[in-house]
């Protein structure tokens, strides 16, 4: 009876952080970094250095086919070109640099002073060379191998996220608060570079008393609540636009550029000629920490280096998750390098594995919580029985994979995995039988 009652007890929606450290802590340089070169759907770099070369922090070590660069995040010797399993669960070519303690390349050697934001081409070239690929020029075009790049429509809306959708990640809101003047400079730069674009900024509700005035005239500011359901990025962007962009389509193909505050600040540094993009902020949250801690680390630092900075180690956790608890990726090795990641959420408790055969009890919670109104339990069961054609009629492709349905499911069904599989099949034409675990020919 107790077990039955527990099944029906209301689960809380996405835990909020109990407390956090408002400082951003600078981490020391690790003894080595591993810098991935491939970001599927976004950009693919070719190395511009070879094994045995000595590189300085800030030096270009890889370039994409249209000139976007990736820079060394520490100084030292290139010891290996290798292939790694990344934190986002794909293989990538990567460059390994062993730290030799030598100083980084001074900004005056790297850049020829500031560039004018009235000269779009010069600004784009600067951003590219500084490792800050202009967000309005991207869209996965660089990842494609075809000779001809697809045309992009002009940017009509820029959305800058001052709040991350995962409630455990504080990078954007801390930077927004602590570097508000530099954020206004960044908003002015975007306004000058893209004079015809509408500029929108999200900020935490808690910043309302000062942020509305601070950014007035530079951006339309929308304040987002503490809870995850009000912060899901695709939902927030659709609020700005008054229409939805299909999930499988890049914003950029609809004239929209979305970037976060940290990226905006990196653009300011690059345009001013102050520094290339070599470091990233990330919030560590979860078990073993009294407060969530935000750190700034050299790109390509390992999970081990980041955990060790707080006196933590991977053996104490069942699930370190890169990203947040709702949309992050579980990690199984602490040697995995982190680059453009915003959060590391640590779970130490026992985690019940999903049971692919767990029966749905038709409680309807998943459907009630779904922000895009998918009939989640229905579509799940159709997918489970391999009826993908019928599932399509229920528009599973609208799924953001936000995880809310799985979070409330008392039967702990693998709901998001089933939807992900279905949508993957719809895009890539692969067929897989969930019940037998076989690929169908």
The set of residues, in sequence order, having a beta carbon less than 8 Å from that of 441 and lying 6+ positions away, is none
Nearer to ligand SF4, 305 or 413 (CB): 413
Nearest distance from C-beta of residue 326 to ligand SF4, angstroms: 9
| Integer Cα distance of 324 and 167 in angstroms | 8
Nearer to ligand SF4, 219 or 402 (CB): 402
Nearest distance from C-beta of residue 291 to ligand SF4, angstroms: 29
Nearest distance from C-beta of residue 357 to ligand SF4, angstroms: 13
Told to check if 234 binds ligand SF4 by CB under 6 A, we report: no
Neighbour order of strands in the sheet with 157-161:
220-224, 198-204, 157-161, 256-260
Nearest distance from C-beta of residue 25 to ligand SF4, angstroms: 33
Told to check if 175 binds ligand SF4 by CB under 6 A, we report: no
The beta strand positions in 156-263, using DSSP E, are 157-161, 198-204, 220-224, 256-260
Would you list the DSSP string of 123-186?
A: HHHHHHHTT---GGG-SSGGG---SSPPP-PPP-EEEEESS-SSTT--HHHHHHHHTHHHHHHH
Nearest distance from C-beta of residue 407 to ligand SF4, angstroms: 8
Nearer to ligand SF4, 14 or 221 (CB): 14
Q: Which residues pair with 322 in a beta bridge?
A: 329, 344
| Integer Cα distance of 356 and 396 in angstroms | 19
Please identify, among the stretches 238-246, 260-268, 296-304, 356-364, the one whose residues bind ligand SF4 according to the rule CB under 6 A.
356-364
Binders of ligand SF4 in range 388-427 (CB under 6 A): 399-405, 408-411, 413, 415-416, 419
- Are the beta carbons of 334 and 304 closer than 8 angstroms? yes
**Using the rule CB under 6 A, which residue among 162, 299, 377, 434 binds ligand SF4?**
377
CA distances from 395 to 370, 378, 389 (A): 13, 11, 11
Please identify, among the stretches 77-85, 126-134, 251-259, 370-378, the one whose residues bind ligand SF4 according to the rule CB under 6 A.
370-378
The set of residues, in sequence order, having a beta carbon less than 8 Å from that of 184 and lying 6+ positions away, is 214, 215, 218
| Integer Cα distance of 249 and 237 in angstroms | 13
Told to check if 231 binds ligand SF4 by CB under 6 A, we report: no
Nearest distance from C-beta of residue 161 to ligand SF4, angstroms: 19
Told to check if 364 binds ligand SF4 by CB under 6 A, we report: yes
Phi, psi of 18 (to 5 degrees): -70, -40
Told to check if 361 binds ligand SF4 by CB under 6 A, we report: yes
**DSSP-H helix ranges across 39-113:** 107-110
Nearest distance from C-beta of residue 363 to ligand SF4, angstroms: 4
Nearer to ligand SF4, 132 or 399 (CB): 399
Interacting residue ranges for ligand SF4, rule: CB under 6 A: 360-366, 369-372, 374, 376-377, 380, 399-405, 408-411, 413, 415-416, 419
């Amino acid at each position: 009876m107790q077990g039955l009652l527990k099944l029906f007890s209301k689960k809380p929606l996405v835990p909020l952080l109990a407390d956090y450290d408002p400082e951003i802590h600078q981490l020391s340089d690790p003894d080595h970094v591993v810098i991935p070169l491939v970001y599927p759907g976004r950009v693919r770099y070719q190395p511009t250095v070879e094994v045995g070369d000595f590189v300085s922090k800030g030096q270009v070590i890889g370039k994409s086919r249209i000139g976007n660069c990736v820079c060394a995040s520490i100084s030292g010797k290139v010891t290996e070109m290798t292939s790694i399993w990344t934190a986002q669960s794909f293989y990538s070519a990567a460059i390994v640099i062993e730290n030799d303690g030598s100083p980084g390349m001074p900004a005056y050697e790297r850049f020829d002073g500031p560039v004018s934001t009235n000269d779009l081409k010069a600004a784009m070239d600067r951003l590219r060379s500084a490792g800050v690929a202009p967000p309005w020029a991207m869209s996965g075009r660089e990842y494609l191998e075809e000779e001809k790049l697809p045309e992009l429509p002009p940017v009509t809306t820029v959305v800058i996220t001052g709040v991350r959708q995962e409630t455990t990640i504080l990078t954007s809101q801390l930077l927004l608060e602590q570097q508000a003047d530099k954020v206004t400079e960044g908003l002015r730069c975007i306004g000058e570079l893209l004079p015809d674009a509408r500029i929108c900024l999200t900020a935490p509700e808690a910043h309302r008393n000062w942020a509305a005035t601070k950014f007035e005239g530079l951006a339309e500011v929308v304040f987002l609540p503490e809870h995850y359901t009000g912060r899901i990025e695709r939902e927030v962007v659709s609020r700005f636009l008054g229409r939805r962009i299909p999930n499988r389509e890049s914003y950029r193909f609809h004239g929209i550029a979305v970037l976060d505050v940290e990226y905006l600040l990196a653009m300011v540094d690059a345009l001013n000629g102050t520094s290339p993009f070599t470091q990233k902020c990330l919030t560590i949250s979860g078990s073993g920490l009294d407060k969530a801690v935000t750190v700034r680390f050299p790109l390509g630092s390992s999970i081990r280096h980041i955990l060790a900075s707080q006196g933590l180690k991977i053996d104490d956790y069942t699930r370190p998750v890169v990203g947040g608890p709702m949309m992050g990726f579980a990690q199984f090795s602490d040697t995995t390098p982190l680059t453009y990641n915003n959060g590391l959420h640590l779970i130490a408790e026992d985690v019940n594995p999903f049971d692919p055969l767990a029966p749905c009890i038709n409680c309807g919670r998943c459907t009630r919580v779904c922000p895009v109104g998918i009939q989640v339990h229905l579509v799940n069961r159709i997918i489970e029985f391999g009826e993908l054609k019928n599932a399509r009629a229920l528009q599973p492709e609208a799924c953001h994979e936000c995880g809310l349905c799985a979070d409330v499911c008392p039967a702990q069904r693998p709901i998001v995995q089933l939807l992900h599989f279905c949508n993957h099949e719809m895009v890539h034409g692969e067929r897989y039988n969930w019940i037998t675990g076989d690929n169908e020919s």
